[in-house]
Amino acid sequence: MVTLNSKLMEETRHYSRRGLYSGLRKVVNKVPMDTKQQERYVRWQDYRITHLSFAINLFLGFAVASLAYVINLKLENNSLGSLPIETTIFWWAASAAFGCVATMSKLLDYRYTARKIKDGGSFNTFMAKYCGPVTWSSFWVQVVTYAVGATIFILGVVNA
């Protein structure tokens, strides 16, 4: 029977390889956690996962709504002056695409991490190891591309 502590240690090793818990692994290996600490750790892990999902979805919603607004402006053919519509569309579409990539890689990460813990296997281990960094990288690229598009759009509106 696999105990909560062994599952926790496996997850900690999994995430620490990704650089997410670089200092935590040292603490966990030196001082064994009691049941209360394990429960707190699992609870905060759940908060982290929930907030990452929320942040990805928030910026994905911003990107899609902003993209719809800018496309609507372009279709109306009003005098847009020097508003960089095409550039803004590109950046916000890229943000939406990276949001989709982050969501899919996060789902794959959950799937292959669970399979790795349950069944083992080199493919599951490989996928569990690399899906997390893809998720975090895609999330940060999503945020940056949205910010670049917003900056270009705002500067275009101010200068128009």
Q: For the segment 112-154, what is each residue's pLDDT rounded down to a tens digit?
A: 988 888 888 889 888 888 998 999 999 999 999 999 999 999 9
Cα dihedral 5, 104, 145, 141, rounded to 10, equals 40
**pTM assigned to the model:** 0.73
Backbone φ and ψ for 78, nearest 5 degrees, come out as -70, 165
Q: Which of 26-30, 54-58, 78-82, 153-157 has the highest mean pLDDT?
A: 54-58
The tens digit of pLDDT for each residue in 1-39 reads 445 556 555 655 555 445 444 444 444 456 788 888 888
For residue range 88-110, what is the model confidence (pLDDT) as tens digits? 999 999 999 999 999 999 999 99
Paired tokens of 63: 């990107």
Rounded Cα distance, 73 and 158, in Å: 16
